[in-house]
Amino acid sequence: METLHIQGDRMAWWREARFGMFIHWGLYAIPAGVWEGRCIPGIGEWIMYNARIPVKEYEKLAKRFNPFKFDAKEWVRIAKMAGMKYIVITAKHHDGFCMFDTDLTDYNIVKATPFGRDPLKELSEACREEGLRLGFYYSQTLDWHHPDGMGNFWDYDLSKQEFTRYLREYVKPQLEELLRNYGPIAILWFDITTPTPELARELKDFVRRLSPETIISGRIGGGLRTPSTPFKGLGDYITMGDNQIPDRRIDDDWEVPMTLNDTWGYKSYDHNWKTPGRIVQMLVDIVSKGGNLLLNVGPTAEGEIPKPSVDVLLEVGRWLKNNGESIYGAGAAPLDVPIDGPYRCTYKPGMVYLHVFGWPWDGRLRVFGAKGRIEPRSASLLREPSTTLPWEWEGEGDLVIRVPEKALDSIDTVIILKEGMPKKGLA
Ligand code: H79
């Protein structure tokens, strides 16, 4: 009972938040996808692996890392203007370089770079001031720099590695530093899964003891993998595959990490940005299925979030400023939406939000199979509450709403259906 109680409290803000900023920032921002004059295919933060860069070579990047334009307050301001409620930043990615001050290794941003500052400390202060939650991504399994971490077969003899020693004498003490020295840590975002269920359990218990309020991502691993909880393991929520939006609603807490282009860590030549409209519609789709969107930015080696990312985020933020009521604290509707349907449906008790992506040419918006699932008492436009819209039931329980000729918002116009008593047993 006690754990259930804490579990409920721990996730409460997260369910409300729905939209967070992922930040992948590390030494890989310097090569930015290019090594020895060659463009290295693949995601930018994997360049050490993909180009098989020896530890001794990759380490030299640290001496060149001086992100003098880094401004924690500016990053937090951008996240806030985008309508994001939390930030998760890479404290240590697979390359093993620590973006925080640590006693466990000198291979960290404070001791090994000309920059000499601790950006996580500065971010934690900025987040506290601005009321955003802060979480850390920490690569608990892969570490291509540490002799006992997993994955680096080009420098180390894998048969001589002692992963458990790395986990106990390196990972756990570092997590303790992260949980003790940076104020309340909202999320620990583990990746890949921990090699054995026993070690995943050990890690989880360790985090819980130190910081019971910290949410643990689904990729900690361990636990049972069932069809309904594919990627939850011992974590507090399901982490979907990178960029994988599920086809239908999931009746559990879940999150999808997503890139704005085709990389997490900055790549100088990746310009394949998703449009603001696409991001808004993806966010709506995700919330309509009960999940959270963790949307990534990859800052440059100078410490700036790339301008094209900022432009997209600000546009998304503008939409959320007008329509946030239908996102924050909302979840899946008790309604099945056709997967290619021109609308999505988010829900709060007593309120159904119809998100219209494709405006009907004949002024009749058909909501399929709504009978018995929702019971509207009134219909209106979210942005023009005084405009009430007539509706009727048609055919096999379709709700047909008469809408104005033109969409108020070409990305997504939101219609509110107010219900009487919330329906029991369908949510
Ligand atoms: O942090 C981001 C990724 O670096 C990380 N998860 C997100 C949030 C991640 N870790 N592992 N993976 C993603 C799977 C990686 C697969 C690939 Fe590859 C890396 C495909 C291409 C590069 C490994 C190397 C498999 C093929 C080549």
Ligand 1, atom nearest to 49 Cα: 24
pLDDT digits (tens, 9 = 90+) for 83-127: 999 999 999 999 999 999 999 999 999 999 999 999 999 999 999
**pLDDT mean over 208-237:** 88
Pick the CATH number of 4-326 from 3.20.20.80, 3.90.180.10, 3.90.550.10, 3.30.1650.10: 3.20.20.80
From residue 35, alpha-carbon distances to 32, 264, 298, 389 in Å are 8, 17, 18, 59
- Residue 191 Cβ inside 6 Å of ligand 1? The answer reads yes
Residue nearest (by alpha carbon) to ligand 1 atom 11: 192
Rounded distance, CA 113 to CA 127, Å? 24
Ligand 1, atom nearest to 90 Cα: 1
- Residue 351 Cβ inside 6 Å of ligand 1? The answer reads no
Our mutation pick for probing the ligand 1 site, out of 21, 22, 23, 46, counting the most ligand atoms within 8 A of Cβ, is 46
Q: What is the pLDDT of residue 420?
A: 79
Query: Mean of the per-residue pLDDT values for the chain?
Result: 95
Nearest to 139 by CA among 73, 192, 181, 184: 192
Q: Which residues contact 247 (CB under 8 A, 6 or more apart)?
A: 339
Our mutation pick for probing the ligand 1 site, out of 23, 43, 244, counting the most ligand atoms within 8 A of Cβ, is 43
Residue nearest (by alpha carbon) to ligand 1 atom 25: 50
Nearest to 185 by CA among 133, 118, 146: 133
Q: What is the pLDDT of residue 167?
A: 98
Please give the distance, rounded to the nearest whole angstrom, from the Cα atom of residue 258 to the centre of ligand 1.
13
Q: Boundaries of CATH 2.60.40.1180 in the chain?
A: 333-418
Buried/exposed code over 109-148 (b: 16+ C-beta within 10 A; e: otherwise): bbebbebebbbbbbbbbbbeeeebbbbbbbbbbbbbbbeb
Query: What residues pair up with 150 in beta bridges, in sequence order?
Result: 142
Task: Identify the CATH homologous superfamily for domain 333-418.
Answer: Golgi alpha-mannosidase II (2.60.40.1180)
**pLDDT mean over 321-347:** 93
Q: What is the pTM of this model?
A: 0.96
Residue nearest (by alpha carbon) to ligand 1 atom 18: 42
How many residues does the structure list for the chain? Answer: 427
pLDDT digits (tens, 9 = 90+) for 374-406: 999 999 999 999 999 999 999 999 999 999 999
Residue 423 carries which DSSP code?
A: P
For the chain, what is the total number of helices (H) and then of strands (E)? 12, 19
Ligand 1, atom nearest to 94 Cα: 4
Ranges of beta strands (E only) in 210-288 are: 215-216, 238-239, 254-258
Q: 421: burial class by Cβ within 10 Å (0-12, 13-18, 19+)?
A: exposed
Tokens of 213: 């309020």
**pLDDT mean over 157-177:** 97
Q: Which residues contact 160 (CB under 8 A, 6 or more apart)?
A: none
- Residue 138 Cβ inside 6 Å of ligand 1? The answer reads no
Residue nearest (by alpha carbon) to ligand 1 atom 2: 264
Helical (H) or strand (E) element with 120: helix 119-130
